[in-house]
A and B are shown apart, each in its own frame.
Chain A
């Protein structure tokens, strides 16, 4: 226990003391803070937006745009509606086309009836929206005329269309709509945490072999405190780094929450329950530790830091499979795939919190998955110690994980004998 503390303290100091880790954390904290403050920041920079839109629309339909009207009444109506000037008005289609060819205009509209018009362009840009804008204005006018003929107003129509029955919703369990956003965000946090700190753990151990420091270590203490201390230090440094980022994001959200769309706010905080937080923390942390042991074991099998990537590919594949499985769970959190993958420890890290966020998971499934997770963590901690010890004696030999496990366990039996 004493040596475990020494290894943990030393590795944690080394990990958190790295300038690259501190700078990266600071940058990510700032990004998280700014990203979650965007609604407030954007509100600070926008002022009187509602009045600008019609003016902007009308100006777009006036600038470099020509019109040919069917009659005087129409000319008078649209001159008022669009704010047209004398230069916008053309007597015939030919005059308008000539002006387009001379580049005096970029677009023209020739009315052939009350609500019919032809759009004429010299060149039509993809972002040119004038045709749609005029169409909406013409449609709006046409609708107002028709309503007036029926003795109705626009407000009457809005009241008819806006009617909806009074519904009182009572969700006994979880509301998927509310929880999906938070579950996805937390899943991504775990995903990044495992991949980044898993690789860090592998690299730390491979570097010990690469630099030949391993022989000094295993003759100074036993492999158990070494591997447990390293995994604990990598795990804690990851949790510290990500906690700072999450706290910054939370701070930014609290600072700007009044500026968030109520629906998004509901999706972010409406689903936070104690049971969800506990489920998320338990499966994320134990699953994270499980993967760190896997990465540590695989880091022990290589002799050079540059081989870490290929050695850990198998565990990355398993983890990403869990991530993909959790995406399927969004559609059917109570389905057989969701239940199965939430019980398997390697995928439960992602799937069980997702299920718990989106549905009510039966207690027996939570309990079974929890027990399986703890047993698997213990098994892989033991196995990683054996593989680490095996790795300290094996340099340069290319091998595969199955052979490593067989030899590591064989070495353990011989040692006992």
Chain B
């Protein structure tokens, strides 16, 4: 399946918050939807889930306009909430039924996911009696009910401890390997980098970049090196190198100074210069930006 988000525009009152959002999601590849607070992630997802109606644009699945009600969709909203005073299993089965399962199927699915998250003993307890962490797991469990074809998760990692985050990552990986269509938004770049094949970066309602994560990293790391010299501050190194190679662009980084050769300075020239200076190399290598670097660089450019 291929989901195409095409030129979505959305205004609240006079303020347009989505300015033609477009990107594509492939099944079997996890899509990380990234952006700062207020960038438009949740609004886009809510338009996709038909919570809001977009003013312009549309959603297409395999080229056809998407009718979200015709597919099994697992959805985890940013604003977590279930019935606090109802029992865990009953309400999970209820949500399962509302999404198309029979009572027996919904109960089986609810039982499976509650057991999967190690919460079997709480099946007949009211949700409000569970700890915050366990409530979060029940929330996540509801999004996995009925083996969804499409999984849409808005900030799924918020509130999860590292152990549960690992369980959740493994589960998402399982859905991806089964060929499901998975989109999730997050601030936590480490998790996204681990799970995602593709990313879409949104900022102030505009898409800054979208595509294959590895390819984006390669493109953004092209002609860039990373260097740290023993006993020399990065600022002094940058000053010395730009005097020697005026075309060189430098950028500070916590792991070492980034050098953009602009394809006009070769690695041999730089290494020869280091040798002439008698410097001892602490770190030298091709620069591959982390997702965090990409996010800060791209979102920062627009800020």
The residue in chain B whose Cβ has the minimal distance to the Cβ of A11 is B94
Contact B51 A393 (CB under 8 A): yes
Contact A213 B82 (CB under 8 A): yes
Q: Does B174 contact A (CB under 8 A)?
A: no
Contact A216 B53 (CB under 8 A): no
Contact B95 A216 (CB under 8 A): yes
Q: Does A215 contact B (CB under 8 A)?
A: yes
Q: Does A217 contact B (CB under 8 A)?
A: yes
Contact B98 A215 (CB under 8 A): no
Contact B97 A212 (CB under 8 A): no
Query: Which parts of B203-262 form the interface with A (CB within 8 Å)?
Result: none
Number of A interface residues at 8 Å Cβ cutoff, please give it: 25
**Using Cβ atoms and an 8 Å threshold, which residues of chain B touch A392?**
51
Shortest C-beta distance, A398 to chain B (Å), equals 16
Q: Does A6 contact B (CB under 8 A)?
A: yes
Main secondary structure of the interface of A (DSSP, over half): helix
**Using Cβ atoms and an 8 Å threshold, which residues of chain B touch A222?**
69
Q: Does A219 contact B (CB under 8 A)?
A: yes
Q: Bound state CA distance, A207 and B127, in angstroms?
A: 14
Q: Does A220 contact B (CB under 8 A)?
A: yes
Shortest C-beta distance, A102 to chain B (Å), equals 72
**Using Cβ atoms and an 8 Å threshold, which residues of chain A touch B165?**
none
Q: Does B184 contact A (CB under 8 A)?
A: no
Q: Does A211 contact B (CB under 8 A)?
A: yes
Most A-side CB within 10 Å, residue of B73, B80, B83, B142: B83
Contact A213 B75 (CB under 8 A): no
Q: Bound state CA distance, A219 and B77, in angstroms?
A: 10
The residue in chain B whose Cβ has the minimal distance to the Cβ of A13 is B90
Contact B98 A221 (CB under 8 A): yes
Contact A212 B77 (CB under 8 A): yes
Residue in A3, A6, A14, A213 whose CB lies within 8 Å of B81: A213
- Taken residue by residue from 49 to 68, chain B's Cβ proximity to chain A (1 for < 8 Å, 0 otherwise) reads as 11111010000000000001
Contact A415 B53 (CB under 8 A): yes
Q: Does B171 contact A (CB under 8 A)?
A: no
Contact A219 B82 (CB under 8 A): no
Q: Bound state CA distance, A61 and B73, in angstroms?
A: 90
Q: Bound state CA distance, A414 and B144, in angstroms?
A: 32
Contact A211 B81 (CB under 8 A): yes
The residue in chain A whose Cβ has the minimal distance to the Cβ of B98 is A220
Q: Across the A-B interface, how many residue pairs have beta carbons closer than 8 Å?
A: 57
The residue in chain B whose Cβ has the minimal distance to the Cβ of A389 is B51
Query: Which parts of B70-85 form the interface with A (CB within 8 Å)?
Result: 73, 75, 77, 79-85
Q: Bound state CA distance, A211 and B86, in angstroms?
A: 12
Residue in B49, B53, B73, B81 whose CB lies within 8 Å of A414: B53
- Taken residue by residue from 190 to 219, chain A's Cβ proximity to chain B (1 for < 8 Å, 0 otherwise) reads as 000000000000000001100111111111
Given contacts A212-B77, A213-B83, A216-B77, are A6 and B98 in contact (CB under 8 A)? yes
Q: Bound state CA distance, A411 and B50, in angstroms?
A: 13
Contact A215 B97 (CB under 8 A): no
Q: Does B6 contact A (CB under 8 A)?
A: no
**Using Cβ atoms and an 8 Å threshold, which residues of chain A touch B68?**
219
Contact A211 B84 (CB under 8 A): yes
Q: Bound state CA distance, A218 and B50, in angstroms?
A: 9
Q: Bound state CA distance, A212 and B81, in angstroms?
A: 4
The residue in chain A whose Cβ has the minimal distance to the Cβ of B101 is A6
- Taken residue by residue from 1 to 33, chain A's Cβ proximity to chain B (1 for < 8 Å, 0 otherwise) reads as 001001100100110000000000000000000
**Using Cβ atoms and an 8 Å threshold, which residues of chain B touch A6?**
94, 97-98
Q: Which residues of B contact A (CB under 8 A)?
A: 49-53, 55, 68-69, 73, 75, 77, 79-86, 90, 94-95, 97-99, 142
Q: Which residues of A contact B (CB under 8 A)?
A: 3, 6-7, 10, 13-14, 207-208, 211-222, 392-393, 411, 414-415
Listed A/B pairs (28) with beta-carbon separation below 8 Å: A3-B98, A6-B94, A7-B98, A10-B90, A10-B94, A10-B97, A13-B90, A14-B86, A207-B83, A208-B83, A211-B82, A211-B83, A212-B77, A213-B82, A213-B83, A215-B51, A216-B75, A216-B77, A216-B95, A218-B51, A219-B75, A220-B98, A220-B99, A221-B98, A221-B99, A392-B51, A393-B51, A411-B53
Which are the 6 A-B pairs with shortest beta-carbon distances? A212-B81, A220-B98, A212-B79, A215-B77, A213-B81, A221-B98
